[in-house]
Structure 1
Amino acid sequence: MSKRAKISMIILLSVVILLILLAGAVFTASGVFKKAKYLDPWKRDYVDQFEDPRVKLAAFGLLAPNGHNMQPWKIRLDKQNPLKFSLYADNTRLALESDPVARQTMVSQGTFLEYMKVAGEQLGYRAAIRLFPEGEYDEQKLSESMDQKPVAEVTLSKAQPAANPLFDYMFLPDTNRMAYKPDPLTAEQRKRLEQTNTDEVLKLTFTDAPADIKKLGEYGVEGTDIETGLKRMNDESADIFRSNENQKNKYRYGFSFEGQGTTGMKKHLLQGMITIIPSFNNEEASTKLAVDAARTAAEHSPAYALILSKDNSRTSQVKAGMLYSRLLLAGHEQGLVMQPLSQVLEEYPEMKAPYTRIHQEYAPGGETIQFLIRLGQPTQDTPLSMRREVTDLIAD
């Protein structure tokens, strides 16, 4: 071998070794070898470690969809009655910028209660739920009131276990932000979804009319564009973004790449790069990604659903969340996935114009739109999101 060839070979080997070392550093920074403890609550046998039926049901409630994946739930176990507990909104887990009036926090209380109720039927416990047993909040002292007044008082009674057809679907990801297939809802699917609304104070409507599809998609894009254009919103999201496996295991709530449908080696590559070079995930890049994703979603949504309430009371907000859980689980049963488009329904000054317009057009009777939901058949699966230990929800 000539001297030049030897030098070229040495250079090539050096480059290969350097690339291997760099890849190793990136994947190590991502935490590729770390056990994903934040996914433990999704395992079917997770609840088996607990004897208290209240804790078991709370562990199922923990899987419920919730705003910003903040998991804003707190449980107080009754010390006198082993079948009774109270659910409180956790005032340390509020998204004060994007959800300043805590409406999303309250609908998240409802999603928890409904998941717990479905699980109770499966395990042989009937759950009697009494909303706001001590009255609704003092809105002038909201945070303090959340700590003092329970959202719900839950009393369990033993019953014959009954297979609930929705139970198995609790273990699926709750939100799919990807493109959906163009297939419209069938008459059977629509009928099944309509049956989930059993509350007279709520209205559940569906639309697949081309004009509505276009208009509601535009609302989704507009809301995302406004929200991501505000620094305080981006800062709030950045504060709860978990960039690697270590952070996800430590915090176990908030956002991560999985929420964008990113999995496998690509996920670890991005996590590692951001961990090593945090500026890689800058505000401009995140904004563009979010708006592009909203446009893609708008262009691939065959149907929308809206959940409206006659008023915007805290009770109605919780009931809307309960209905959304039933709707989501019934949708999974029918092979459908969903994504709530929350931005255009958020209540802060910059969002007032589109918020007002969408209510004028789709809630002309003065109702409050609690959920705007795109739904359809998935083109790809999305991964599960982080969940805390159920024991972290139990307060003294």
Structure 2
Amino acid sequence: MKGDKSSDVVANGLLSLAVAIIVLFIALFIISGGFMKQEYLKPWSKEYSNNYNDPRIRLAARGILASSGHNMQPWTLRLDPIDSLSFYLYANPERITKEVDPEFRQMMISQGTFLEYVSVAGEKEGWEVKIKLFPNGEYDEENLLHSMDTLPVAKITLESAQQEEAPLYNAMYMPDTNRMPYWDHELSPYEISSLESASDTSDISVKVYKEQSDHSYITACVIESAIMEAGVPRVMEETNTIFRANEHQKNRYRYGFSVEGQGTSGLMKPVLQGMLTMFPSLNSGKAASQNFIKSTMTSAKNAPAYVMIVTERNDRATQVRSGMIYSRLVLTGHTMGLAMQPLSQVLEEYPEMNHLYTKFKQKYAPKDGTIQMLFRTGYPKKRMPLSMRQDIMNFFVK
């Protein structure tokens, strides 16, 4: 009889525990906004652009799927009021990340990523996309934010052309960044050649690094720069400010970071979002710094190869063109099954990073060149969830 009573106690205890877990999950699911529609994912639908008759808006709706620094989507668009096949791209000064990007270099690279996606979408729809950079003149570097607001980065004009196969088109609907571990498979000579030939201009080069000496050095610099950045409170706070902890925030802002950025999906997503909503300190201060270092170390230790985009000049047009090449690399990589993740901390130009940045730049960009992008590439073990995107009409202003 005692054995039966003990078994009943254990069974009741397990049942109570199971009920408590279910109740806790439901509570976290509700707190995380799990019942809400994910409006921020609508632009990822291939049917999304069909809502618009204007070809400029349709192509721009694909352009916003491109990667951008901190997923800030720093784009403002204006339709040409006279030419129905032209529109303008401006850098949005309200979407700067001035702590990690005080020279606004990443901001300008993000303009280029958008432009390349628009070009690929144009091929699919039968348009030749002609891009003129800084059509109304260069920025006044002494009054940069005002220049961003008043001078377009590019004038985009569509001309009717024969519809092409557009082999990179489907790759636009895949997540541009994958922070998950990659398989330890070497890139083939064909894959390396495909990536390194992404630039068709002599002043911008793409180089793949996979040899042990370079690989070890780059890995060490990536980790050292992450530790450095984690120790700069104002930089970490800037990142924390644009973190969206739950579905309510993601639907409201539709840009910045979220738990999906670290690959969280499935049942773990509402659990983690609910916890972060209830206890924001889990993603701030020392905890955020430690998580950031751990994540970067995991990425660096799962990097079959690194890739750099290096330029001879560092003017704004070159930065934009580097972004276009980066998008081309991302899309080309997707067609070969490769994923990519920028590891840009060592390239950031705030004072605390200066020594490491200068040392790294001197090694890999001699003769006053500039490393515009550093990222890892390889075959991902898992696919990443899609990230937030704003509604296309939020980008257009008069």
Q: 1:13 to 1:195 in 2, by over 3 A?
A: closer
1:162 alignment counterpart: 164
Greater alpha carbon shift after TM alignment, 54-63 vs 224-233: 224-233
Q: CA deviation at 1:274?
A: 1.3
1:231 alignment counterpart: 233
Once the two structures are superposed, residues 234-284 of structure 1 have per-residue CA deviations (whole angstroms, 9 ceiling, x without a partner) of 111111100011110111000001010111111110101111222233322
2:145 maps to 1:108:
no
TM (norm. structure 2) is: 0.95
Q: 1:13 to 1:328 in 2, by over 3 A?
A: closer
> Does structure 1 retain, via aligned residues, the 8 Å contact 2:282–2:288?
no
Q: Give the AA of the match of 1:190.
A: I
SS, match of residue 63 in structure 1: coil
2:241 maps to 1:276:
no
1:23 alignment counterpart: 25
1:356 alignment counterpart: 358
Q: CA deviation at 1:21?
A: 2.8
SS, match of residue 394 in structure 1: coil
Q: 1:183 to 1:14 in 2, by over 3 A?
A: closer
SS, match of residue 165 in structure 1: coil
2:47 and 2:334 map into 1 onto residues whose CA distance is 21
Q: CA deviation at 1:16?
A: 4.9
Gaps of 5+ in 1: none
Kindly report which structure 2 residues correspond to 1:250-265, keeping only aligned pairs within 5 A, or say none: 250-265=252-267
Identity %: 46
Root-mean-square deviation (Å): 1.8
Q: Give the AA of the match of 2:186.
A: P
2:42 and 2:166 map into 1 onto residues whose CA distance is 23
2:258 and 2:198 map into 1 onto residues whose CA distance is 31
Q: Give the AA of the match of 1:142.
A: L
> Does structure 1 retain, via aligned residues, the 8 Å contact 2:195–2:206?
no
Gaps of 5+ in 2: none
Q: Give the AA of the match of 1:217.
A: T
2:378 maps to 1:376:
yes
1:143 alignment counterpart: 145
SS, match of residue 264 in structure 1: coil
1:76 alignment counterpart: 78
Kindly report which structure 2 residues correspond to 1:177-216, keeping only aligned pairs within 5 A, or say none: 177-216=179-218
2:55 maps to 1:53:
yes
Q: Choose from 177, 182, 202 the match for 1:175.
A: 177
2:329 alignment counterpart: 327
Q: 1:360 to 1:49 in 2, by over 3 A?
A: same
Q: 1:8 to 1:189 in 2, by over 3 A?
A: closer
Matched positions, count: 396
Q: CA deviation at 1:8?
A: 8.6
Q: 1:373 to 1:7 in 2, by over 3 A?
A: closer
Q: CA deviation at 1:36?
A: 1.0
Q: 1:140 to 1:24 in 2, by over 3 A?
A: same
Greater alpha carbon shift after TM alignment, 194-203 vs 365-374: 194-203
Q: 1:12 to 1:379 in 2, by over 3 A?
A: closer
> Does structure 2 retain, via aligned residues, the 8 Å contact 1:214–1:298?
no
